Amino acid sequence: MIEALLTMSGVHTSIGAYHILHGVDLVVPRGKLTMLLGRNGAGKTTTLRTIMGLWRASSGHIKFAGNEIAALSTPQIAGLNIAYVHETMGIFSDLTVKENMLLAARGAKRISDIDDTRLKWIFSLFPAVEKFWSTPAGKLSGG
């Protein structure tokens, strides 16, 4: 059996007067690709925001690598290397991919300040980042 990296069990989330998530159960296996699909309004974004602690579950459990994370703050959750990239791209379209990455790199003032091993790792995960490194980010597909 494959070990679960992330699990949600019986998660309920309300936003104001709206009860959005009704007992969501989710298992994300370690080392596997998992997609969250659904029609508009099905609760995909609320699920992701609840995992990140941006919105609080009113009940249920959220575990990452076997540890309960539902009560952690969003920065603590992010510190576990959990991230949520929302629908709007949040890039500077007139800047190159490289310049956008530099802006996102903590403490880097020049591209040479970005750890070369980390950059190679990013390129291995997302070859298009390297391929379009000098391309204005606004010219890229939203996907």
Residue 2 reports pLDDT greater than 80:
no
Return the bridge partners of 11, or none.
24
Task: Please state the rounded mean pLDDT for residues 62-84.
Answer: 93
Chain-wide mean pLDDT for the chain? 89
Structural domains of the chain sorted by starting position, each given as residue range(s) with its CATH number in brackets:
4-78 (3.40.50.300), 97-139 (no CATH)
Residue 141 reports pLDDT greater than 80:
no
**DSSP string for 105-125:** STT-SSGGGS-HHHHHHHHHH
What does the pLDDT look like over 7-52, one tens digit per residue?
999 999 999 899 999 999 999 999 888 888 888 889 998 999 999 9
Overall pTM > 0.95:
no
Look up residue 11 and give its two tokens.
């998660």
DSSP state of 80: T
| 43 close to 24: Cβ distance less than 8 angstroms | yes
Residue 99 reports pLDDT greater than 70:
yes
